[in-house]
Amino acid sequence: MDKALKVLEYDKIIEMLLDLTQGELARDLVENLEPSNDIDEIRRMQEETSEAYRVLVRYGDIDYSAASHIKHLVSKASLGSMLFIEDLYDIMQNIFLVSSIKRYLKTSIEDENLNLNHLRKLYDSLASLDDLKKKLSMTIVSRDEVADSASSTLRSIRRSKKLKNQAIEDKLNSYITSDKTKKYLQDAIVTMREGRYVIPVKNEYRSSVEGMIHDISQKGSTVFIEPMAVVKLNNELRELENEEKKEIERILYELSSEVSEYRAYLETNEEALKSISFIFARARLAREMRATEPILNDKGYVNLKNARHPLIPKDKVVPTTLELGDEYTSLIITGPNTGGKTVSLKTVGLITLMAKSGLNIPCDNNSSVAVFDRVFADIGDEQSIEQSLSTFSSHMKNIVHIVENAEYNDLVLFDELGAGTDPTEGAALAISILKLFRERRIRTMATTHYSQIKFYALTSEGVKNASMEFNVDTLSPTYRLIIGIPGKSNAFEISRRLGLDQKIIDSAKELLNENDTRFEDVLKAIEEDRTEIENKRIKINEENEEIERLREKLENKNKKLEEKQEAIINKAKEEAREIVKKAKNESAFIIDELKDISSLSKKEDRRRLQEAKDYLRDLEDENRLKIKDNKKRTKEIPKDIKLGESVRIISIDKFGEVETLPDEKGDLNIQVGIMSVRSNIKDIERSESKEEVKAEKKTRSINKAKSKNISSEINLIGRTVDEAIILLDKYLDDAYLARLKEVRIIHGKGTGTLRDAIRKYLQNSKHVIEYREADYTEGGSGATVAVIK
């Protein structure tokens, strides 16, 4: 496996992953990442990578560079040792990063579309440690500074230090600007030596300046002297510095003790941060490669869709689609040099290793990868002169190792199997090796130039030919892998196009045996057929795409037409509502005018006015039914309509029977109740039954029927108030329609509750002109007489 990792350049994938790993936490995980054989572990890692990939796409990235290893620091604190400022700063940075990641992941986890099961568990394991974070942030300013606010004592000491420094600087500034002393100075500046303020004095005047010498320049021309005037102040400053140091140490011990109390949480956080950082590094690689999560299996089945070699630049790589391990266990690839055969081998091998390492693979969705136990590879660099210099024995030594060790659930890759020796013997050895692997059902891919191996693949079960496409017109490979067709030798055609004399080419063809010639002719015919089929397939696909485009265009057009039709219908309904409303208002106005000029004392006039109101109300109800009808006419115009047939007039939503057949314009008469309505054949549809027509006929006779059946009194004794009011309301409607003049309502005496409720209702009834208590002969206080309008 180690040799395969090197040959397939797995280390370059690790380098790419390292470049995308932020911070130091996950670097060791990346550096030690190797393919696994545990399919459950691989599946978990693949799902983690895919989850993080979805988060990156939806919510962007977050910076993990501040994360660092702190376990050893926490352990040190737990032993009672003092942590330095930079140690506490690193711990604080980790805690702050945890808070940032929790905020970042919270939104992602709440997004149900992302389905982040693994990241949710890591999120739940992170502890915010707000109390410790607050204490550290109030104390630690940077990797080498403690804040003044760490303690009141520290604040006081630093205030005193500031004042002392200012006093020293003032005294020295007055010294160096004095006319008496400035002639002694090399420069009019104040500097520091050994932590004490000094001034640069010319060597020849060193005896003129009283003080302590702390340093001499390299050439000896300058002596750095601490004037006696500031010695005491410097000493006092030094004492304050010692006090500051002791106070800082006390604060650091206190914080270290605090950290030790959170040891378990801090260590758990580090592990979670490490895992999250590792997962998102893999996700960044997947995003860069436009990779997908493979479908894993332990059946030795490989199905790569538009697989791209991850180390070839995106603008140059040619996708490869291939299958192995189902119908056939061996795939033989033929084609010209530099045609892409070796790249195809390496693509399958490297993608297999990536998948086993939990990395998404640079393939289209729904690609399948087998979790092989091992990957063996004998791949030489045929793009360099080393191929001609390499010995057959060195290759065979590697092949012997593979033959002796490869087993059923391994993947074996051979590049130019049998090359480097006599072609006849090399081809025979290659076929024998391939037969052995086929018998063991070991998944094998091999590249070759030998026609004998092509023929072996054509005639052997479980073996499939494939070839790298070559464009004879341009004399260049296309790097496309064609499954099912062996590669044809293009030596003669290429030579002819490059200008080689045709006689030489014909002579060379004569040297080939008949079988070789026939085989090449068959391959040529197959290739021509394949090209023709491929061109037809491309044309069919283009036509299908055009059909789909036209279908979508038509659907969009129909949708717009339906929306426009709906808008027109809605607009018409709204206009109808306005017309009805306007008609109602005008009718009410006319009736009010008629009221004013009529002799309302005459009962006949009042009756006629009420009939007019009822007519208008019926008209309004009829129009409301029209507006409410949202049905769309989908039936065809009725044909062969017959006399007496039941139909519906769509525009007025009325049912009737055909009275006359349509004329040349399509107009006809429909009997609706007692009325004959003129309509057009386009505005009617057949009715399913005659019940609706019967209902129309009955409507006009209701009033007459009621006048025959309605009683002039109603007995409500024993009813509750609610029941009585409901019955009375219906009774008064019927009495009004029956044109009764007076009615008697029997309610009994009792407590008077029912009587009072009934009379209150009569007071507001639209059908009652007035009411009175019944005479003694009519029931007295146990009944009420109402006069109907």
pLDDT confidence of residue 152? 94
pLDDT digits (tens, 9 = 90+) for 475-492: 566 778 888 776 665 666
Q: Which one-letter amino acid corresponds to residue 493? A: E
pLDDT confidence of residue 526? 60
Q: How far is CA 217 from CA 178, 224, 227, 348, in A?
A: 24, 8, 17, 70
The residue to which tokens 């009736």 are assigned: 591
- Long-range CB contact pairs, 15-22, < 8 A, 24+: 16/285, 16/288, 16/310, 17/281, 17/282, 17/285, 17/359, 20/281, 20/284, 20/285, 20/288, 21/277, 21/278, 21/281, 22/63, 22/64, 22/65, 22/67, 22/277, 22/280, 22/281
Task: State residue 513 phi and psi, 5-degree precision.
Answer: -75, 165
Task: State residue 291 phi and psi, 5-degree precision.
Answer: -90, 165
- R_g over Cα of the chain: 51
pLDDT confidence of residue 703? 47
> How far does Cα 662 stand from its chain's mean position?
62
Q: Which CATH architecture has domain 633-697?
A: Roll (2.30)
Q: How far is CA 133 from CA 156, 255, 266, 274, 736, in A?
A: 25, 11, 11, 20, 85
pLDDT digits (tens, 9 = 90+) for 218-249: 888 899 988 888 888 888 998 999 999 999 99
pLDDT confidence of residue 214? 85
User: Do 644 and 656 touch, CB atoms closer than 8 A?
Assistant: no
| Residues facing 648 on adjacent strands | 655, 685
User: Do 139 and 251 touch, CB atoms closer than 8 A?
Assistant: yes
| CATH 1.10.1420.10 residue window(s) in the chain | 2-129+262-289, 150-256
Q: Does domain 703-788 have CATH number 3.30.1370.110?
A: yes
User: Do 190 and 197 touch, CB atoms closer than 8 A?
Assistant: yes
Q: Which CATH architecture has domain 2-129+262-289?
A: Orthogonal Bundle (1.10)
Q: At what angle do helices 152-176 and 228-261 cross, to 10 degrees?
A: 160
pLDDT confidence of residue 82? 96
| CATH 3.30.1370.110 residue window(s) in the chain | 703-788
Q: Which residues does 480 contact at the CB level (< 8 Å), separation at least 6?
A: 318, 320, 340, 468, 469
pLDDT confidence of residue 632? 44
| Prediction pTM value | 0.62
Please classify residue 466 by burial: count the beta carbons closer than 10 Å to its beta carbon, then call 0-12 exposed, 13-18 middle and 19+ buried: buried
- What secondary structure does DSSP assign to 592-651, as a single string? HHHHHHS-TT-HHHHHHHHHHHHHHHHHHHHHHHHHH------SPPP-S--TT-EEEETT
**For the sheet containing 476-483, what is the strand order?**
374-378, 410-414, 443-448, 330-334, 463-471, 476-483
Report the candidate in 37, 131, 139, 143 with the shortest Cα–Cα distance to residue 90.
143
pLDDT confidence of residue 630? 44
Residues 245-279 as b/e (b if ≥16 CB within 10 A, e otherwise) read eebbeebbeebbebbbebeebbeebbebbbbbbbb
| Residues facing 444 on adjacent strands | 330, 412
pLDDT confidence of residue 631? 44
| CATH 2.30.30.30 residue window(s) in the chain | 633-697
For the beta carbon of residue 574, count every other beta carbon within 10 angstroms. Answer: 11
- What secondary structure does DSSP assign to 262-327, as a single string? THHHHHHHHHHHHHHHHHHHHHHHHHHHT-BPPEEESS--EEEEEE--TTS-TTT---EEEEESSS
| Residues facing 458 on adjacent strands | none
Q: Write the class of the CATH domain 295-489.
A: alpha beta
pLDDT confidence of residue 363? 96
CATH topology of domain 150-256: MutS, DNA mismatch repair protein; Chain A, domain 3 (1.10.1420)
User: Do 371 and 356 touch, CB atoms closer than 8 A?
Assistant: yes
Please classify residue 503 by burial: count the beta carbons closer than 10 Å to its beta carbon, then call 0-12 exposed, 13-18 middle and 19+ buried: exposed
pLDDT < 70 stretches in the chain? 1, 336-339, 381-391, 471-477, 486-494, 497, 509, 511-531, 579-636, 674-675, 688-709
pLDDT confidence of residue 386? 40
CA gap 363, 308 in Å, rounded? 6
- The sign of the dihedral angle between the CA atoms of 40, 46, 48, 54 is negative
Task: Report the length, in residues, of the chain.
Answer: 789
pLDDT confidence of residue 403? 94
| CATH 3.40.50.300 residue window(s) in the chain | 295-489
